[in-house]
Structure 1
C-alpha cells in the first residue's frame, strides 16, 4: 500500500519531517516495517500551507528516496501544517495525477489502502459525484474518487459526516455488486485549520495508524532530545507508522475511529459509515 504523515503545530522545515527522523518517510519508502509492502517507490507528494489561502503541492512519480528536487525543496520550505505521502501502486498507473495528496481549494486529501472491486463500481461511484466536480477528476485512483465523493457529500461543512457518507456509499454499491469487504485503509484530510484522520475497513482489519503523544509530556520523558524543544506544545503528528522508536511517543488510533486535531485540541471518536439518503 502506501505510507503517509500529517503534521500540525509550530512551523518546521519539511526536511525535519521527511528526512531527519530515524524511521522517516524517506526511509519508509525503501523499507517500511508495518505496511503491506516494504517498498513504496511509485511516486510521492507533499502538501503544505503557507501565506496563501490554498496549500502548495509538489508531486512526482520518482521514488521519494531518489528525488533531488524533493531534497532541495525540503531544505527551504517551512510550514505549520504538512501532508506527505509515498505511494505503492496496486493497479492504477504510475502517473503524477495519481500521486497524493490531492488538492481542491483549501483542502488536501490522502489515503492508504484500496477500494476492493473499484473497477466494477467505478461507474456507479462516478455517477454519484456532483456534476460540477466531475470534470476536475484528473487521475484514475480509487483514492481521488473517494476525495471527490467526500466533497460531494459535504466535506466543506462536516468532514466526518462527509467521509461517513462516502464510505457508506462505497459499501452500499459493493453490496449490489456482491463485494463483501470493499473498503480498506486510512484517510487524512485537512482544510488548513483542522486535520481529520480516519481508520476503517469493512472487514474490521484496517491498516496501521498512530498519533503522537502530547509534546510537553515527551519533553519531560526525554529531556535530552533537543528536537522536542523546537516544537510548540500544540505540535501533533498522525502517521501510518512511527517515525522513531520512542517508548510512549505514539498511540494507536483504534479500529473504526477517527482523530480530529485543531491547534492543541485532539479528540478521538468512533467512525461508522452512513448510507446517503436516496442511494439506490
Structure 2
C-alpha cells in the first residue's frame, strides 16, 4: 500500500474527489443506490474527513470474514474482494493502509438503526429501500451476478460457455432473478426445474434431479463453501444480476456518505472495481464469466 501522500498528491486527490462529488450531486437519481446525504466539498479533504477518530478510517465487517470476500479471516491483509475494495476506497479518501482500522461488526448490527462503531462497513450488504430507512449507503461497489453451480462429478461442471449449458437440466427457485436468467440468458433446450425454496433446489442437486442450479454469486459461494461442498461454481452469467448492488454502510445522515460515494464512483469509472472483481471473484476462485 502507498506511503502517506505528499502535499502535491494531496492537492490532486482533493481535486479528483471534488470533481466526483460535484458530478454525483448533479446526476444522482432520487431513488438510486448512491448517498442520501452527500458531503460538501470541504468535507472531502483527503485524510481529513470527520471520522470517528481523526486521521483514521474505521471499517466494519463481520467475523468470520468469509472467502472470497476476505482471505484467511483477516480483513486487514488486503486480500479478498471486499478487503481490497475497502483499501481502495480508503486510499481515494486519503487514508493509506496504515491509517485504516477494522472493527468487528455483526451483519445485523451494521444495518440496524442507531449509532455505529465504524465509519463505513463492508459486508455484502445489498442496497434496499427498507435498509435505507435505518442507514446510509454509498454508491454500489458490486453488481450482483447470477452463477451456475454443479456437482464436481457432473458433466455440467466442465461447461465453459452458455452453449455448453443449453442441454443441461437446470434448476432455480421460483420467482427469482435466477430463474429469469435461465429462461432469458441461458435459454436451455431442456425444461428447467422450479423449486419453492433454495433448500429444495439444493436437495435436488444432491440427488441428481437437476444437473446444475442457478443462484446469485454470493449464494453460490456460500452453498459450495459451506453447504454442498461436493459442488463447485461453474461460472458467472454476464449482465444477469437483476439490478442488485452491494454498498458500503454508514450511519444514517453521515457526513461521510457523499465523499465515500464519490470515491466508489471514481473507482468504478477508472476500472479499479472491475479489475478487483476479476482478480478476486473470477480468477482467484475459478468463476469465469461464461461467454
Q: TM over 0.5, yes or no? A: no
The structure whose RCO (Cα within 8 Å, separation 6+) is larger is 2
Larger helix proportion, structure 1 or 2? 2
| TM-score for both structures, normalised by structure 2 | 0.27
**TM-score of the superposition, structure 1-length normalised?**
0.27
> Rg bigger for which structure?
2
Q: Which has the higher strand share?
A: 1
